[in-house]
Structure 1
Amino acid sequence: MRSPWSPAAYSCWGKLQGSETSHLPLVQHLQDAGDVMDALWAQQPVNVRRLFAEALGGNDGARAFVCFLASAHDVGKASQHFAFKAYPAGRSDVAEAMRAAGLDVPIHVNRPLGHGLLGQVHLVDWLIRRHAADPLRAQHLGGIVGGHHGSNPSDQDFIDARNAFVEESNGWAKVRDEILDGFAIKTGADAWLGCWLAGPIPVEVQVLTCGLVIMADWIASDESLFPYEPPSEDRVERALATLNLPAAWAPFKADAVPDELLRQRFPRLGPEAGLNAMQREMVRVASAMTTPGLVLLEAPMGSGKTEAALLAAEILAQRFGLGGVFVGLPTMATSNPMFSRVRDWLDHVPSGGVTSLNLAHSKAGLNDEFAGLMPWARSRPPIYDDEVGAREAAATVHAWFLGRKKGMLASHVIGTIDQALFAALKAKHVVLRHLGLATKVVIIDEVHAADSYMRTYLKRVLTWLGRYGTPVILMSATLPPAQREELLCSYADGRAGRVSLPQTDAYPVIHVVDQGGVSVVGTASAGRDIEVALRPVGDELNWLASEIDVRITGGGCVGVICNTVARAQQAFDTLSRSLDCEVLLLHSRYLAPHRAAREADLVRRLGPASDLRPEKVVVVGTQVLEQSLDIDFDLMISDLAPVDLLLQRIGRLHRHDRTRPAALEHPECLIRGVDDWATQPPEFPVGARRIYGQDALLRSAAIVEGVGSVAIPRDIPTLVARAYDAKPEVPEAWRAATREATKRAALEQSSKVKRAGDFLLADPRRKSNLNSLISGPAADPDDSHGYQQVRDSEDSLEVIVIVRDGEGYRLPQGVGPHSGKAIGYSTPEAPLARALAACTLSLPHSLSGVWIVDRVIDELESAVDVSAWQASPWLKGQLALALSSEGVGELVGRRIVYDLSHGLIVESEQRVERP
C-alpha cells in the first residue's frame, strides 16, 4: 500500500529498538497516538466531554481537538535536534535513510533541545502562518504539545528553539508542515481551527487535554501493544483489546426510596437500617443540585458521614456524568479500612460494567486485600446477587494503572489526602493528577486534619476543581469557622467567583457551593446530646492508676490517650503493674502487621456490634485512637490537646448505645498532660508544645477550665469557634502569655504558607496557557520528597526491623506467613521481600533529627550489609535495624528495645546532645 506521506516525512524515525534493524516511523507513531486518543475520548466520562464540548464548538469539535493534538504531539521529532540521536543509538542506517530522503542529519548537536519544545514552537508558527492565528491564542494549542513530557517551556526556551530552527535546513520545516497539514485533515481539525482560534480556550481544557495526550502517547509507545512492524488495518483494535482498559464508571439511576437505598448499598447495616436526619439531608441536597458543586458536611463523630458521602457521590456521579470517586483520608492507617468499605459499596452500586480501582499511598502494595486484587493474584470469588446470581466484582485492579504516575487515572482511588494535594504541586506530569481528579467525585474526610501548610495546597486544588466543575464532598466533625470559609471560598473562586458566606450556628450543617453561590442547610442531630463532664487532673501516674482502679471496680472499658509515644509507654508500664485487669497499648511505633492485628482486635472487642466486650480493659494509646477506629469507651482520660482534637477523642466516649457499668453511667473525660494546672498560665510538657504549640494548648486549657462539661454534639461548633477566635477568652493572668503565644503562632503559620508557596501550582484564574506551568523546583510526588512537600515535617527515618540469628538474620515473629523465616545474603524472592517491607518502623525524632540522622544512617549501614536488597523493588533504598532475639539493639549509644507489648522503645542510656 502506497504511503500517504512524502519520502522525507516517512523517513523520520519516531521509535528505535537499539542496534536492531527495526524502528517505527514518526508518522506511524503519531497515527497510533491519534487512534488511541480516539478510543480514549470515547471512554471519557460525560462531565469531561461536556466541558470540552462547551469550549470547542460541540462534541465533534472536542473529539477533533484531542485527536489532532495527540497526532501532533511528537512533531518536534522531525528536526535535527532529535534525528541525529540515531547515530549515538547505533542506528546509522536510520540516519542515512533520512539523508537519502533529502534531510540534513548532523552527526552531533551541541545542547540538543527537547522535541516537545520544538514541536510547540513549530505548531504555534504553523497556526500563525496557515490559519492567521493570534500568537497568544496559538499558544493555547502549542502548550499542550510542549508539555506532553510533563513540564512546560519558559520564554527563554522559546527563544532558543526559534534560533535552532533558523539554523536548520528548510527540508525539516516542510516535513513538519506536512505532518500537521496531514493530521489536521485526517482528524477533521482543519474544519475547526478557525473556531478554536477565534476565542480563548479555557486553561482547564488545556490542562486536561495535555493529560489525555500524555496518556495516549504512553499507550501508543508500548512496544508490546504497538510493535515496530508494518501496520495492519486492525493495529489499534488489537492493541486496545489486549490492553482492555476498563470504561469509566457509569452508575445507573437509583429508583429506591432513600431508606431502601441505604440498605441496598450497605447491607451490613442490617434490614432495619434507615437514614438519620443528616444522611437524609445529604441525599436530598445531592438530588436537588442543579449544577456540580462542593458539599461541606459538618456532623458529629460516628454519625454516619461516610455512608452519607458515598450515597451523595453516587447521586452526583449519575446526575452530572462523573466517572468514579476519589476518597482521601489523613493517613495510610485510615486509608486501608476505607479501601475495604468503598470496595464493598461499589459492589452494591448497579453500573454499566467493571471499572478500575486503586489504593494510593506509599505502602499500598503491603495491603493484603489490595494485593489480592492484582491481575496476577486475584482470589476473590464472584459476588452472589439475589436477583442476577453470580456476578463479577464491580471494580477491580488493572495492571496499567499500577504504573508510575498512572494510579490516579483509575476510576476509583482511595488513598491519603496527599494524593489530592499533589495536584497543587509544581511537579512533572501534574496534569495527569488533574485528569484523575477532574473525572471523579472527590471526597475528603477529616478535612480539619490539614494544617495551614497542607491547606495551602488543598485550597489551590479546590480552586482547580471548581474550575473543572468537579463535585467535591468535604467532611469534618470539628472544623474551625475560618477554615470553613477558606475552603468554601477557594472552590467558589474556581466555580462561581467571589461569594458571600451566610452565617449560621447550626450543627450538624451542610454548606453547598455551586454555580449559584453558597447556600447553607441545617439538619437535625442524629441522636440525643451526651453531656460529658470535663475534669482537669494531675499528671502523676500512680494517682492515675489508683483513680482507674476505683472507677472500674464494677467493670468498665477505659481509654487513655497520650500525646507522645513515650508518655503512652510510661503510662502503660505503670498501669500494667498496678491494675488487676487487661491493659493494652497502641501507637504508631509497631511493625505494621503487629499494629494492624492490635487495631483489628480492638474493633472486634470494642466495636459497635461486639458481643466480645470485656468486663474490664484499659487501652492506652496515642493519636491513633483519635480517628478511624470505631471503638467505644466507658471512661476517657486524655492528655490536653487542641479543642477540636480533644473533641475527636471524646467522640470515642459512650459512642454506641449500650448498658454501662453503674459507676460509669455518666460520661466523663479526665484531662491530664499538664505539668501544673495551678500555675498562671498552666505549664505544658515539651512534647505537647512541640506537636501542638503553646497557643493552641493555652486556648484549650482555658476552655477546659471554664466550661466544666460539654454537650456532644451540640457544643462542638461553639467550642471550636471559641478555640480559634482571633481574640481568645482566657483568664486575666494568662493574657500576656497568650498574646505572645498567638503572635508566635501567627508568624509560624505565615512561614508555613510562604514555604508551601515555593512549590505551589499557579492559580487557574491567573493562567491563560500552559507556558511555565510546570517549571518550578518541586520534586516528583512519586518520589519520597514529594510527600514532604505537601506536609510540613522533617524527613523521618524508616528502618526494616530484622532479628539477628547467630551468623545470619530472620524476620520477626507475628508478621504473617513468613514469621521467623531466615533471610539469606542474596536478593530475597518477592514474597519474602514483601514480608520484609512490611516490617518497617519510623525512628523517633531523637534519632532522625538533622543533628543526628547522618550518624544513625552510617551506623545502620555499617551494621548490616543490605546491598543485595537493592535489586528488589520492595527493598531498594531501605535500611535494616538488627535486634537480638530478645528484641534488643543499640544505635548511637542508645539502647533500642522492641517487643509486642511496648512496640519500639529508645532508652537514653548515653545522652546524645544536639550540637
Structure 2
Amino acid sequence: MVVDSRLWGKAKGLERPYPLMGHLVDTALIAGVLWDEALEAGQRERIAAALGLGMRDARQVVMLWAGLHDIGKIMPVFQDAARDEHPGHCAFLDELRYAHDRDRDSRVGRVGHEHATAKAIPGLLGALGYPVDGMAEYQLRCQVGQILGGHHGRYPLGIEEDELEVAEGGMVELGRGAWAQERHEHVALLRDLLGEPPVPQVEAVPVASAVVIAGLVIVADWLASQEHVVEGRLTAWFNRPEPGTPGAVRAHAAEMSALAPGIVADAGLGHAVFQARDFAEQFPEITDPHPLQRSVEQGLRDKVSGPGILLVTAPTGEGKTEVALHAATVMGDAVGGSGVLFALPTQATANQMYERVRDFALRNLTDSAQITLTHRDADFHERYQSADGSSATKGADTPESRVLSHDADHSAASGGDGVSVEASRWLRQRWRGLLAPISVGTIDQALMGVLPLRYNALRHVGLAGKTVVVDEAHSYDAFTHALLLRLLNWLGAMGVPVVLLSATLTGETARGLVRAYLTGAGVGSSAGLPTPGYPGWLYADGRTGAVITPSTPVGTVRSRALDITVRRVTHTYDPSVSDGRLSVVFEELEQLARAGGCAAVICTTVGEAQDTYTALRAHLTGIHGPGYTGWDDRASGTGETPGEGTLLRLLHSRFPAYRRAELTAEAESWFGRGDKKETRRPPLPRGAILVATQVIEQSLDLDFDVVLSDLAPMAQLLQRAGRVWRHSATPRPAWAAGPRLVVLASPAHGTAKAPRSWGDVYSESLLQRTEELLALRQGATVAIPGDVQALVDGVYAEEFRSQDPDELFRRDIGRLGDDMARQGLANLVMIPPPAVADLHGLTNSEADADLIATRLGADTVQLLPVYQDADDHRWLDEARTIPLPTRGSGRDGRFTRAEVRAVLNLVVPYRHGAWRAACTAEHRPPAAWRKEPRLARVVLLPHRVTPQGVRGSSFGDLNLRVDHALGLRAEDR
C-alpha cells in the first residue's frame, strides 16, 4: 500500500505540490474532530442509526468518506494541471505505465475532480464489500458518490445503471491501469489508517442524515485546505524518509490527530453548552417572571426527552424572547446540544436580537462559544464588526466620515469567567455563518436551506446542531410561508428542535406549522392538534407526536383595555381639508405637542411617511414658533438630545445603512423601556413623535402613549397596538387616559379601498374585512389579550358577514388566487420534501445565493449617493471632504473588508423598476470595484452640489435624491 507522493492534491501557491494522500488523511482526521466537537450528540446518534452501526464505527465510516472526497483527483487530466506551475513534478504522467494511454487521454475533455469522485466511488466501495445489488439510486455506494461528489457545493447527477456495469463508472477521463491501481491503494491505505471501518448495514442513508454528512465533509475539506494548514503539513510530509510508505503516512496521521482539534477550535466551531439553570437564574434581571415565562418553564421541565417543536403565542411584551432562549437551552440539552439559531424577519430586528442573545450567552455559557450575525449586511452592524475591521479612510468630522473611520467597540464581546463570544475571521466568511455554535440572523438564511442553491449542505449541517427559534412566525406572505413549512418539514426530519414565536397567528396557521414539523419527523399528520391558547403554548414531541399544553390557562401581567378609534379620512396631504389625513393627524397630536408624551405615526409607504414628517415639521413650527428645532437631527447618534420643542423623527427602510442604524438606536433610547439605563425618554412636558413605516412593527422594543396608523390587516394593527402602553412603569401624560390606537380608514364606511399610492402592499380583501370588523366593535374596547385571537381568526372566517358581500367576494377571490400563485411558485423553486432519494435536485439551481430572494417583491438595488462639484470631482459626502475611492488599499488595488464595509454603510436600498433602464455609464462604479462582488453591484446616484443646493439624479420621469432627514426621496418630475 505504498502511495505515489507525486500524485498531488494541492498545488496553487505552494513551493511544491502537496501529495493527495496527505490531504485525504488531513480531511478524514478533521472530520473526526468535527464529529466529536461540532455535531451534537443527537445528530451523532441519528447518523449512527442511519448507518446501522454503533457510534464509534459510524464515526470511522464518516471519517473514511470525508477522506475519500478528492479521490477523483487521481486522473490524468487533473494531475496534468500542475505542469505549468510545477514543471517536472508530474513524472508519474510520463512513465511507461501511462504512455500507452497518452493519445487517448489527450483527446478527452476536462472534467471536475468532484464529478470524477462521484463516478469512481461506487466501484471503490464495491471493492470494500459495499452492497452492489439493487437500483443505482438506492445503492449506498452510489449515494456516497453523490455525497462526496457534492463537496464543491452541488450534488452531481446520480450514476446510471449501465454506468455501474463498466469500469470506473464509464468515465474514461479517470484513466485505467496504474491510475485505477493508485485509487485503490489510496483507499486501502486510508481505510487501514482509520482502523478498517465496517460496511454500513443499510441499503441507503436517509436523506436528512445524508445532507448533514455532506455538510460535515465540506467543512472538513475547507479546514484542511487552509493555506497555513497545507503549508505546515507539506513540510512535515517531505521531511520524513520514504514518504508515501505506510509507516510514513501513519506518522503523518498521528501528527495530524494532535493538530486537528486546534484547527477546528481556531475556526470557531464547537458546541455551545449552557449552564443548567432555571429561568430566574438565567435572567437575574427579571425579578418577577411573567406568567407565560413561568408556565413554559414548568410545563417543559422533565417533559422534553428528544427533538420537538414548541409554539408560543402571546401579545408583544409578554417576554417571548426570554421564553425562547430558556426553551432553547432545555430542548437543546434534550438532544445533546445547545446551539441556537435565532431567526427574525428583518435585518434591523436581527441586529437588535444579536445584542440580547450575546448578553444571554455571556451570562449563561459554561465556556466560550462563538456567535455570528447572519444576514447580507451583518458586517455593517457596529457590535459585530471584527476587532481588526476598522476603516483606514479618514475625512472631516461629518456623519459619513465618522462611519468611514469608525473603530468598533468590542468591550462587550467577552464576559465573566473568561467566556468569549466574538466570531472568528473564518466564520465571518461567505456561507459559514450558520456553522457557528450560536447564530442570529434573518429567516432568509435558514429558508435558503430549502432552495436548491450551492452549498445548501452547509446550511443543513449548521441547522442540524442547533435549536432553531423563528420569531414573528406570522409575518410572511404565502410564498415565504410555504418555504417555512418546507423548512419545518426538513427540521423535523433532521431531529432539530424548533421554537416558533408569534403575536398574531390564526389557529389554523398555527396547527399547520406544527403539522409540517411532525410530518417531517415521521410521526403522522397530527390532524387533531389543538389550537394553543392566547396567551399560551403547545409542545409536540418529534418522536411520538405527543402534545403538551399548559395544565392551567396562562395568565398575563399586561391585561388591558385597548381603545381602537377608527377615524375616517380623505387620503389627501392638503392640511386645509378638514377630514383629510393630515388634519386628523394634527388634531390627534395637538395635546401631545402642547403637554408632552410620546406617539408614533405609522404610514404604509415611505413616500407617505416622508410627506407626513414634512407636514408635521411645518405644523409644529406653527405651534412652537419660528425657533422650533426639535426636528433637527444633527446631534443624532452622539448621545445628545437636540433642539427645542416637540422632538420629531422619521424612520423607514430608505436611509443609508449607517443613518438607519443611528435612527433606530435613537428611537430605542427615546421610546424603549424606562428602566434601562441607556433609555432617555424625553421628560414631560416635552413631546416626541416618531413617523415611521412598518419597520417598527416587529421586534423593536418601543413604547408610545398613542399610536396613529394607516388602515392595515388586523394582524398588523394588533402588532402596532403592542407598541401602545407597552411598559407599565412608563410615566404617562395627563391626556393619555389609556392605551389607544387610532386607525386612519376610508372616508365612507365599508369601502376600505386602498389609496392608489399603496400599490399591492396589502390585500384589499383583508383591509375590507378588518375595517368592517372594527366598525362592528366601534365604541367597545378590545381586551388584550382576551380578544386578540378572536379578532385575528375573525378576519379570515369563511362565514364573514360583510355589508358588501359581492365586493368582498370579488376581493377574496383575488386574494386566494394570489396566495395560490405564490404557493405554487414556492413549490416550483424549493427543494422536495426529505423523502427524496436523489440528492442532485437539492442543489441544481445556478442562482447566486447573494441575489436570491425568499420573499417575493423584496429585490432591491443598492444606491450609493455621490456628490459632484463644478469640476465633476466625486465625493462620498455632501461637504466634499471624502473623495470617492477609485481603488482599494490592498494588493492590486483591491478593497479590504473594512473598506468595503465603509462604502456599503453609505448605500440606500431602492426597489427595482423601469428606472433602471435609464442608468448610464455615470451610474457605474469605478472599474476597480468590479473585483469585489458586493461593490460591483452598487449603482452610483450622482448628486450635483450647486450654490442653490443639491440636486439628485433623474431617470426618465423619476428623480431620486438622498436627504439627511428624509432619506431617499423619489419624486415624479
TM-score normalised by length of structure 1:
0.89
CA distance in 2 between partners of 1:764 and 1:47 (Å): 18
Shift of 1:477: 0.1
Aligned pair in 2 of structure 1 residues 482, 34: CA closer, same or farther (>3 Å)? same
The 5 Å alignment of 1:537-686 reads 537-539=568-570, 540-552=580-592, 553-579=594-620, 580=623, 581-609=646-674, 610=679, 612-614=681-683, 615-657=686-728, 658-674=730-746, 676-678=747-749, 680-686=750-756
- 2:951 aligns with 888
Partner of 2:496: 470
> Aligned partners of 1:637, 1:132: CA distance in 2, in Å?
68
Deviation of 1:41 after TM superposition, in Å, equals: 1.9
Q: 2:22 aligns with which of 22, 28, 43?
A: 28
| Matched letter for residue 496 of structure 2 | T
Q: What is the CA-CA distance between 1:168 and the residue it aligns to?
A: 4.1
Partner of 2:354: 339
TM-superposed deviation, 1:672: 1.2
The aligned residue for residue 826 of structure 2 is 756
What are the ranges of 5 or more consecutive residues in structure 2 without an aligned counterpart?
238-251, 391-406, 571-579, 624-645, 890-894
1:516 to 539, 544, 566: 544
Q: Secondary structure at 2:688's aligned position in 1?
A: strand
Deviates more, 1:371-380 or 1:280-289: 371-380
Aligned-pair distance for 1:446?
A: 0.8
Contact kept in structure 2, 1:117 and 1:158, CA below 8 Å: no
Q: Is there any run of 5+ residues in structure 1 with no aligned partner, and where? A: 910-915
Q: CA contact under 8 A between 2:925 and 2:939: conserved in structure 1?
A: no
Q: Tell me, yes or no, if the aligned pair for 1:545 and 1:574 is still in contact at 8 Å.
A: no
Question: Residues 855-900 of structure 1, C-alpha deviation per residue, up to 9 Å, x if partnerless?
Answer: 1x32xx3257633433556633322212244443122254434323
**Are 2:927 and 1:867 aligned?**
yes
Q: Which residue of the other structure, out of 774, 794, 800, is the alignment partner of 1:704?
A: 774
Matched, 1:834 2:829: no
Q: Is the 8 A contact 1:457 1:760 kept in 2?
A: yes
Partner of 2:463: 437
**Alpha-carbon separation, structure 1, partners of 2:493 and 2:342:** 20
CA contact (8 A) 1:81 1:115 kept: no
CA distance in 2, matches of 1:605, 1:560: 15
Q: CA separation of 1:179/1:697 partners in 2, compared to 1, >3 Å: closer, same or farther?
A: same
Instruction: Decide which of 2, 5, 11 is 2:2's aligned counterpart.
Output: 5
Please point out which of 364, 375, 380 is paired with 1:366. Answer: 380
CA–CA separation in structure 2 for the residues paired with 1:174 and 1:865: 53
Secondary structure at the residue paired with 2:385?
helix
The equivalent of 1:715 in structure 2 is 787
For the 8 Å contact 2:282–2:364, the answer to whether it is kept is: no
- With 438-447 and 683-692 compared, the bigger mean Cα shift is at 683-692
Q: What's the counterpart of residue 182 of structure 2? A: 175
Alignment of 1:95 with 2:84, yes or no, is no
Instruction: Find 1:65's aligned residue among 61, 64, 70.
Output: 61
The 2-side partners of 1:47 and 1:374 are apart by 37
Cα distance, 1:250 vs structure 2: 4.2
Q: Cα distance, 1:93 vs. partner?
A: 2.5
CA distance in 2, matches of 1:666, 1:294: 37
Aligned-residue sequence identity (percent) comes to 27
Q: State the Cα distance separating 1:321 from its structure 2 match.
A: 1.6
Name the SS for the 2:88 alignment partner. helix
Aligned positions of 1:152-551 closer than 5 A:
152-155=155-158, 162-165=169-172, 168-190=175-197, 192-193=198-199, 196-227=200-231, 228-231=234-237, 234-235=255-256, 237-238=258-259, 241=262, 244-246=266-268, 248-255=270-277, 257-263=278-284, 267=285, 269=286, 273-287=287-301, 288-351=303-366, 353-373=367-387, 380-381=410-411, 391-495=417-521, 496-504=523-531, 506-514=533-541, 515-517=543-545, 518-521=547-550, 522-539=553-570, 540-551=580-591
Please give the per-residue CA displacement for 1:627-685, whole angstroms capped at 9, x wherever unaligned.
232222222211011110111111111212134333321332221153x324x533221
CA-atom RMSD in angstroms: 2.8
Q: Deviations over 1:707-751 (max 9, x none)?
A: 2232222111111111123443322xx211111111111221121
Letter of the structure 1 residue corresponding to residue 282 of structure 2? L
**In structure 2, distance between residues paired with 1:157 and 1:755:** 30
Q: Provide the secondary structure at the position in 1 that maps to 2:841.
A: coil
Measured after TM superposition, the shift of residue 337 of structure 1 is: 1.1
The residue type equivalent to 1:186 in the other structure is L
| Distance change in 2, residues 1:240/1:873 (3 Å) | farther
| Cα offset, 1:429, TM superposition | 1.2
2:931 and 2:153 map into 1 onto residues whose CA distance is: 28
1:791 aligns with 2:852: no
Distance in 2 (alpha carbons) for counterparts of 1:666 and 1:32: 67
Residue 741 of structure 1 corresponds to which residue in structure 2? 811
Report SS of the residue matched to 2:98. Answer: coil
**Secondary structure in structure 2 of the residue aligned to 1:523:** coil
Partner-residue secondary structure (3-state), 1:345: helix
Q: By how many angstroms is 1:146 displaced?
A: 2.1
Corresponding residue number in structure 2 for 1:85:
81
Cα distance change of structure 1 residues 504 and 16 upon mapping to structure 2, 3 Å threshold: closer
2:331 partner letter: L
How far has the Cα of 1:412 moved from its partner?
1.1
Kept in 2, the 8 Å contact 1:673–1:685? The answer is: no
Number of aligned residue pairs: 865
Please, which of 893, 911, 915 is the counterpart of residue 852 of structure 1? 915
Give the secondary structure class of the aligned counterpart of 2:229: coil
Aligned partners of 1:246 and 1:354 also within 8 Å: no
TM-score (norm 2): 0.84
- The 3 A distance-change label for structure 1 pair 694 and 168 is same
Q: How many angstroms apart in 2 are the aligned matches of 1:167 and 1:216?
A: 24
What is the rounded CA distance, in whole Å, between the counterparts of 1:292 and 1:480 in structure 2?
25
Q: Deviations for 1:432-456, whole angstroms, at most 9, x for unmatched residues?
A: 1000011011111111112111122
How far off is 1:178 after superposition?
2.3
Distance 1:712 1:778 in 2: 48
